[in-house]
Amino acid sequence: MIDIETLTDIIATYKKHGWILRRVLLSKKTKAKFGPAVDLNEAKITDSEIDAAWFSRPPKVGAVAWEIRYLGDPPFALLETIDESDPVFDDLLRDVEDRLRRSIAAKISA
């Protein structure tokens, strides 16, 4: 389970490289550990069985780059280029989240 200091460091590293924290998936256990005072810069917080953070980076041309970063061990991320105006945008993000869950489960069981 990630602690708030480590999460803050991850967010700062992504920000340094031009990424913006957009959404955070938190397990009930992590959410309880962070408490109600956690400030994630207006990122949308969603209940989940895994801890992960969605970052996006404005494109030079074309669709927006979105990266979901697993916040556990081992560190792991998936990158997708997604058109935010696509009517199934949220479905596309959920598909990537499901791929992350499957990848994490495979790494843990290996």
Q: What does 25-77 look like in DSSP terms, one character per residue?
A: EE-HHHHHHH-TT---TTPEEEE-SS-EEEEEE--SSSSEEEEEEE-SSS-EE
Q: How far apart are CA 58 and CA 65, in angstroms?
A: 7
| pLDDT confidence of residue 63 | 80
Domain with 84 in it = 4-109
Nearest to 50 by CA among 90, 106, 98: 98
The reported pTM is 0.89
Domains of the chain: total? 1
Q: What is the largest CA-CA distance in the chain?
A: 40
- Please tell me the predicted confidence (pLDDT) of residue 59: 79
- Alpha-carbon distance of 73 to 1, in angstroms, equals 8
Q: Angle at CA 99, nearest 5°, toward 38 and 52?
A: 10
User: Quick one: pLDDT band at residue 68, thresholds 50, 70, 90?
Assistant: very high
User: How far is residue 13's CA from residue 16's CA, in Å, rounded to a whole number?
Assistant: 5
With pLDDT > 90 as the criterion, what percentage of the chain qualifies? 56
